[in-house]
Amino acid sequence: MNTKVVNIDEENINKLEIEECGEILRNGGLVAFPTETVYGLGANALDPNAIKKIFEVKGRPQDNPLIVHISDFEDIKPLVVDIPEIANKIMNKFWPGPLTIILKKSSIIPSVTCAGLDSVGIRMPSSNIARQIIRASKVPIAGPSANISGRPSPTDAERCIEDLNGKIECIVSGEKCNVGVESTIVDCTTYPPCILRPGGLTLEMLKSIDDNIYIDSAIMKKCDKDFKPKAPGMKYKHYAPKAPVKIIQGDLMKTTVKINEMARDYIEQNKVVGIMATNETLKEYNNAVVISLGSREEMSSIARNLFETLRSFDDNKVDIILSEAFEEEGIGIAVMNRLKKSAGFDIIKV
């Protein structure tokens, strides 16, 4: 398939191109487009054939449901059975933005979209390009991250092209994703609401609505084979670059010493070592491919750079990636959740 790459300037959005993307989606085609979290792979959420194509193109496990994206508040009504008051409060405060709400689904959403569950995840992104494309399609848009399953999510158009060129109708090249990790998923089918995936919106922010909102304890643990997490996607290998990742966690000074020790051993075995550092530690390392995620003082920039940095180690053809760890608070919870999954929970404590 010939994939059309369309440049859309966030500051000066070309309506004709938006209309064209909307039409492809409405007619059952696949369009990758930017959102504020990561690039999404869009398809008409009400068209089972279009949804099947998403699963095929991504190589996505059949039991992993898709998030349905909307452009305007009133679009949610036909998609769900009812909206509890607490869900209304959360949506009103944090939409549009990096938040997905799980509610009981209505019958207009085909079973394949939600992988047979009786609930649906709904998200209204804040990205203008994303919302205009969704609005132009005149249908709700299923949108998983626009990567091949298992790989780090793409945060710019080049990474989408890397994974999806030749496989879908259109890739929209727009803004770089500002948040960099996916939306926070909040299950509002029970009270108190429970965070099934930490993301761009922090627990602290959600607690401003209701202090009882909590994080599902399965989030930071390795799921063993028989465990069934509430968000099916959480059990799969995820966000993994080609080289194995090891996380070194503990006091920062001890971390740098341990990483240098480990790097030396790997280099002796003729391996190319990648080190995922921070601005504060960059100068401690050498003889390796050292990339900084940004400053520890600014966790939002670390979140923004995480997936791109994991992918750039692949470009550098490293054999092993050694990464520093971060405090599990604020957006650091989402960063550590993604990092631990990318490492298959290979964590060395110092």
**Which of 145, 155, 249, 292 contacts Mg ion by CB under 5 A?**
145
DSSP assignment of 269-312 equals TTPPEEEEE-TTTGGG--SSEEEE---TT-HHHHHHHHHHHHHH
Q: Cite the beta strand spans of the chain per DSSP E.
A: 4-7, 31-33, 40-44, 67-69, 99-104, 119-123, 141-142, 170-173, 184-187, 194-197, 214-215, 245-249, 273-277, 289-292, 320-324, 347-349
Question: Are 284 and 270 contacting, i.e. CB atoms less than 8 angstroms apart?
Answer: no
**Which of 100, 127, 155, 305 contacts ligand TXA by CB under 6 A?**
100
Q: Which does 196 bind (CB under 5 to 8 A by kind): Mg ion, ligand TXA, none?
A: ligand TXA
CA distance 218 to 103: 20
Q: Which does 151 bind (CB under 5 to 8 A by kind): ligand TXA, Mg ion, none?
A: none
Residue 119 found at the interface with ligand TXA (CB under 6 A): yes
**Which of 101, 114, 160, 310 contacts ligand TXA by CB under 6 A?**
114
Residue closest to ligand TXA, measured at CB: 233
Q: b/e per residue, 145-168, with b = 16+ CB within 10 A?
A: bbbebbbbbbbbbebbbbbbeebb
Residue 38 found at the interface with ligand TXA (CB under 6 A): yes
**Which of 53, 131, 230, 341 contacts ligand TXA by CB under 6 A?**
230
Residue 127 found at the interface with Mg ion (CB under 5 A): no
Residue 231 found at the interface with ligand TXA (CB under 6 A): yes
Q: Which two tokens stand for residue 187?
A: 């299950």
Phi, psi of 102 (to 5 degrees): -95, 125
The piece of 45-53, 117-125, 158-166, 220-228 that touches ligand TXA (CB under 6 A) is 117-125
Applying the rule CB under 6 A, the residues between 178 and 217 that interact with ligand TXA are: 182-183, 185, 196-197
Residues engaged in binding Mg ion (CB under 5 A)? 145
Residues engaged in binding ligand TXA (CB under 6 A)? 35, 37-38, 40, 64-67, 98, 100, 102, 114, 117, 119-121, 123, 125, 143-145, 182-183, 185, 196-197, 230-234
